[in-house]
Structure 1
Amino acid sequence: MAGIYERIPADEQPEEKPEQDDSAWIEDNDPGYETLPGCRPPSEIQPITDGEDDPSEKEDPYMFIAPRVPEPLTNNNNFVEHRPKSKLSTVCTGRRRVMGESGIKLGPLDFRKLESVTASQRTKWGNFINPWDTWKMPSATGVLKWKLCSKNNRAIPSKSVLDKTLPIVSPNIEEWKTPPSSGIRVSWLGHACVLVQFDGITILTDPIFSMRCSPSQHVGPKRYRGPPCDMYDLPSIDAVLISHAHYDHLDLPTVKFLNARFGSSLRWFVPLGLMNWMMKAGCENVIEMDWWQENGHPDHMKITFAFTPTQHWSNRALHDNGWYLWGSWCVFGPNHSFFFGGDTGYCEAFSQIGRRYGPFDLAAIPIGAYEPRWFKKPQHINPQEAVQVHTDLQSSASIGIHWGTFPFGNEFYLDPPKLVKEEMEKQGLNPDDFFTLNHGESRLLYEETLDYEDASTMCETGSEGDIPPDEAMFEESGDDKSMII
């Protein structure tokens, strides 16, 4: 459905009425608060005040949002609907507001966020379910058929051969210690774990450093390519993104180690339902989010995190299926944006994410564990679908993840990157825009450099404000940044 709000110029804004304040927006005792975890009653909300407390108010003459007559409600529960104030079942990511003492801002209203998007759904018992028509829950019979009857084409060779065909590279630990002054640095640490650094922040996704993804380190799927570094080698991590609760994406020993090393300075962003699990693991700084919600980091106020949908499932045991939500993450800084896909089958969510949040500078998209298709298709995209996700997201560059580490799919172990390249060429796209890395390898994208002669001339003439030649600084020019040396 179309957006339900429209902007009007400041000089045409009607007088503000008392019933439009927070107390009229929702009552403190409204049970709707439970539908958006982390939402505080109005008495605890510290709204941004007029005047000097919020300079952006002066810069934007269209801050007032005038409601117009909403469209009729749809019977399709898959979509966000216009509902009365007292119901918080809709997805609200466009409010400009400060949430309590945490000081986390939701970003300014973007009219793309008023479009219809697919909200998360639960059964009447409270378990999360997929809203997509393309979803089919894997059954015990299907698992047995896959394990016992499907042909295994992995052909994973010995370690000596793997060292040549899928090498583990020693990462540049010193380089990791400082985020790049410009651009995005991405390092693949195996499976769905990437270290991403940009705009002064360092982010880790779905970290797993254990040899097995299982409740026990004695049984369960074992990695055939080990971690490229020790957890002690990691730089200071600002945020960890968790896509869902499966053991290959949420590893308890790794979580405990990172929490012990970084403590409350490390902020964990997790799907709805995982807060208690994280607290039991000892983590304190945890943000639990629903699809399309946004939040931030107290030490990086210019960075915004948004939790977005995928088509998958999430559990830790046989009895807790649907207790935890699953999804993907979008991270936006003042200069760059990043998408993390986690684990997913193909669905319309990615076109919705692309329309609302795209384009992205970098996307981490799963490309492996997709065979046999009759069983894996609803939960894992193949290389061809990964390229479609790359297109849906409007991503300038993508890195293939979720391959080459654990023996999950029946495809040949080197097929994922090969087929991604073939599909990119088939679609008439630049194959270099969707790349893969060796374990431990890093790549710096969008690094801004100046021609040597131009830089020397600027330093000698003292132009651009007499910036000292021995200092590397950034000077803003609109939305772009150029380095002056």
Structure 2
Amino acid sequence: MLPTKPQQIKTALVSISSLYVAGWGIYYLAQETIRRRELASRKRKYPLRAPLLPPHAISSGVRVAERVGVLAHSNSKGTSTKEDQDRIRAQEILKERGLDSNGHVDVVSPPPTPTQGSTWYGGATDTEVSRIHRRFSSLKVLGRYANVVPEWREQGAWEWVAWKLFYSVFYKPRIWWDGGYKADQRTQEGRQKIDMLLPVEKIKWNELFTPPSPDSANSKGPSVPAIRDSKQSSFTWIGQSSCLIQLDGVTILTDPVFGEQPVKTLFSPTRMRPMPCSIHELLANTAIDVVLLTHNHFDHLDIDVLPLIPKHVAFFVPLGLTPLLKQYGVDPKRIVELDWWQQTKLPVTIRVAAKDKGTSSSVTEQRRCFDITAVPASHWSARTGLDTNLTLWNSYAVRVYSEADAAAGSRSGSPPPAPEAKSLFFCGDTGYSPSLFTAIGRALGPFDVACLPIGSYAPRWHMQIMHMHVEESLQVTRDIGSKRAFAMHWGTWAMSDETWDDPYWQLHKGIQQASDSPERLLAVPFGKTFRL
């Protein structure tokens, strides 16, 4: 009997689906094979040995030091003289710190706190910097970007399917999971907990900027607010990874997303809490100089916001993101694409209001140098099912200093003196890699302030390579040597399996166990401004 037409259609669909799945499976297998070979080659060519171990690695022992990559592992074929010297020196340091060669504690002492004057952070030689850059340079495999940290493994769509259609249905039922937020909203005790852990404050614009004067619209100058203090540095969390940051008078907007949902669909989560401001309120009350975009995921890039950003604002973005921004009205001349470890400097003119005026009718202009370096992260990019990893994903190390310091540095042939520069580490979505973050601290640290994600980490078997647990975020503050850090990427949308308040409690638990200052990593209210 000949097959009927419905049977033929069914057979064709099954065949096409099988070919599609098999094709992607072969692609991922080839990609992972090539990636692993490249990483093994880089590890041999560019070993990460520093003359001093990072303070937290010293206090934790040789095993941690080897794990973060500042000591080479021994092997059966013997080690080089340099490796022997490193190991002997490490054992001497450990003995001084009260630890044996296996990292066991003989004398308990708290780990040293990173300071701006630390000799390890930012103390890499030119040779070390070259090794770090080559070890963690961006990598394209079969036309798509790939991760370069040893912790990464290729997941593919099937692992997401296993999470959502099997793990979340049968093993740990969490379909339409909102982290228990709606259940808390239904009780008085739950509502009190929400108000306590996720308070929302209206942004006090007048503390940051002076409004334009009524007659400024008739003048030739721009009708925009002016900052109140030329040395002003502050942090304001808007939600998820959207932050308003001021660094020595330069105003930075990061990963702007102002919609109620990341994606306007039935399946997309809605905001847990009202926003402290709308995009229109923000633009009317601030003078933005720079926008930082870490990657193209919907919870980090709201395309509806792009046409609203003033025409003079500069965008710093990962490789490959210019076409999307151009499509939504951003002039390509305003866009600076950065590869990992690529550095660029931008002159910025800030407008400072006179202290004795209530409005910005009398302003002075000052020049700043905005020095930015893109650094790697362990993540991925996509906005559709067809553009996965066609664009890069970044974190950023930023330094801001005055034009006078920049001129002095150029005349002397050396960078501006560190005490005169304000520094920021803005971390995009990333899994934790001790070798990567230690390398960042060694090459670019320390930092005055860091902004670190602490949410979207469960289930760990799926999320750990792309999102950090709170304990790992705390570890990053030590790896990079930040004086102070603020938590973000939590409490905005329920996008993973942890309860909505778990990041908060995990953060306080981690700080108490390590006897750290709360400023090590601080969870702050939406909209509240913190002076730095």
Matched, 1:192 2:247: no
TM-score scaled to structure 1, two decimals?
0.66
Following superposition, the deviation at residue 180 of structure 1 comes to 4.3
Structure 1 match to 2:54: none
Following superposition, the deviation at residue 139 of structure 1 comes to 3.2
Question: Are the structure 2 counterparts of residues 110 and 202 from structure 1 closer, same or farther at C-alpha, using a change threshold of 3 Å?
Answer: farther
**Aligned-partner Cα distance in 2 for 1:323–1:80:** 27
Matched, 1:76 2:92: no
Structure 2 match to 1:282: 329
Structure 1 match to 2:404: none
Assess if the C-alpha contact under 8 Å between 1:399 and 1:435 holds in 2.
Answer: yes
For 1:131, the aligned partner's letter is V
Question: Are the structure 2 counterparts of residues 268 and 78 from structure 1 closer, same or farther at C-alpha, using a change threshold of 3 Å?
Answer: farther
Structure 1 match to 2:180: 155
Q: Which structure is richer in relative contact order (CA contacts within 8 A, separation 6 or more)?
A: 2
Q: Tell me the SS of whatever aligns to 2:473.
A: helix
Assess if the C-alpha contact under 8 Å between 2:347 and 2:370 holds in 1.
Answer: no
Assess if the C-alpha contact under 8 Å between 1:331 and 1:338 holds in 2.
Answer: yes
Answer with 1 or 2: which has the greater Rg.
2
Matched, 1:314 2:341: no
For 1:411, the aligned partner's letter is E
Question: Are the structure 2 counterparts of residues 79 and 441 from structure 1 closer, same or farther at C-alpha, using a change threshold of 3 Å?
Answer: farther
**Aligned-partner Cα distance in 2 for 1:375–1:122:** 23
Question: Are the structure 2 counterparts of residues 130 and 179 from structure 1 closer, same or farther at C-alpha, using a change threshold of 3 Å?
Answer: farther
Assess if the C-alpha contact under 8 Å between 1:337 and 1:360 holds in 2.
Answer: yes
Structure 2 match to 1:99: none
The root-mean-square deviation of aligned C-alpha atoms, in Å, is 2.4
Structure 2 match to 1:346: 432
Assess if the C-alpha contact under 8 Å between 1:179 and 1:198 holds in 2.
Answer: no
**Aligned-partner Cα distance in 2 for 1:384–1:417:** 11
For 1:224, the aligned partner's letter is M
Gaps of 5+ in 2: 1-38, 47-123, 210-226, 350-367, 402-420
For 1:341, the aligned partner's letter is C
Q: Tell me the SS of whatever aligns to 1:252.
A: coil
Question: Are the structure 2 counterparts of residues 286 and 196 from structure 1 closer, same or farther at C-alpha, using a change threshold of 3 Å?
Answer: same
Structure 1 match to 2:140: 122
**Aligned-partner Cα distance in 2 for 1:279–1:367:** 31
Structure 2 match to 1:378: 465
Structure 1 match to 2:347: 298
Gaps of 5+ in 1: 1-73, 82-108, 446-485
Match of 1:402 among 473, 478, 489: 489
Structure 1 range deviating more: 346-355 or 359-368 = 346-355
Assess if the C-alpha contact under 8 Å between 2:477 and 2:520 holds in 1.
Answer: no
Following superposition, the deviation at residue 322 of structure 1 comes to 1.3
For 1:175, the aligned partner's letter is E
Assess if the C-alpha contact under 8 Å between 1:314 and 1:325 holds in 2.
Answer: yes
What are the Cα deviations for residues 130-151 of structure 1, in whole angstroms up to 9, with x where unaligned?
1122112333332233224333
**Aligned-partner Cα distance in 1 for 2:460–2:228:** 39
**Aligned-partner Cα distance in 1 for 2:456–2:40:** 36
Assess if the C-alpha contact under 8 Å between 1:207 and 1:251 holds in 2.
Answer: yes
Q: Tell me the SS of whatever aligns to 2:471.
A: helix
**Aligned-partner Cα distance in 2 for 1:113–1:179:** 38
**Aligned-partner Cα distance in 2 for 1:79–1:345:** 23
**Aligned-partner Cα distance in 2 for 1:127–1:283:** 25
What are the Cα deviations for residues 275-295 of structure 1, in whole angstroms up to 9, with x where unaligned?
111111111110001000111
Matched, 1:229 2:277: yes
Percent of aligned pairs with the same residue? 32
Q: Tell me the SS of whatever aligns to 2:316.
A: strand
**Aligned-partner Cα distance in 2 for 1:212–1:219:** 10
Question: Are the structure 2 counterparts of residues 79 and 359 from structure 1 closer, same or farther at C-alpha, using a change threshold of 3 Å?
Answer: farther
Aligned ranges 1:122-271 → 2 under 5 Å: 122-123=140-141, 125-148=142-165, 149-150=167-168, 151=172, 152=174, 154-156=179-181, 157-158=184-185, 161=191, 162-177=194-209, 178=227, 180-182=229-231, 184-214=233-263, 216=264, 219-234=267-282, 235-258=286-309, 262-263=310-311, 265-271=312-318
**Aligned-partner Cα distance in 2 for 1:220–1:425:** 35
**Aligned-partner Cα distance in 1 for 2:247–2:40:** 42
Whose helix fraction is larger, Structure 1's or Structure 2's?
A: 2
Assess if the C-alpha contact under 8 Å between 1:180 and 1:198 holds in 2.
Answer: no
Following superposition, the deviation at residue 369 of structure 1 comes to 0.7
Q: Tell me the SS of whatever aligns to 1:233.
A: helix
Question: Are the structure 2 counterparts of residues 354 and 248 from structure 1 closer, same or farther at C-alpha, using a change threshold of 3 Å?
Answer: same
For 1:413, the aligned partner's letter is W
Assess if the C-alpha contact under 8 Å between 1:296 and 1:305 holds in 2.
Answer: yes
Q: Tell me the SS of whatever aligns to 1:407.
A: coil
Assess if the C-alpha contact under 8 Å between 1:212 and 1:221 holds in 2.
Answer: yes
Aligned ranges 1:13-162 → 2 under 5 Å: 76-77=41-42, 111=126, 113-117=129-133, 118-123=136-141, 125-148=142-165, 149-150=167-168, 151=172, 152=174, 154-156=179-181, 157-158=184-185, 161=191, 162=194
Following superposition, the deviation at residue 331 of structure 1 comes to 0.7
Q: Tell me the SS of whatever aligns to 1:76.
A: helix
Following superposition, the deviation at residue 418 of structure 1 comes to 2.1
Q: Tell me the SS of whatever aligns to 2:317.
A: strand
TM-score scaled to structure 2, two decimals?
0.60
Structure 1 match to 2:516: 429
Question: Are the structure 2 counterparts of residues 165 and 394 from structure 1 closer, same or farther at C-alpha, using a change threshold of 3 Å?
Answer: closer
For 2:424, the aligned partner's letter is F
For 1:267, the aligned partner's letter is A
For 2:41, the aligned partner's letter is N
Q: Tell me the SS of whatever aligns to 1:147.
A: helix
Structure 1 match to 2:399: 332
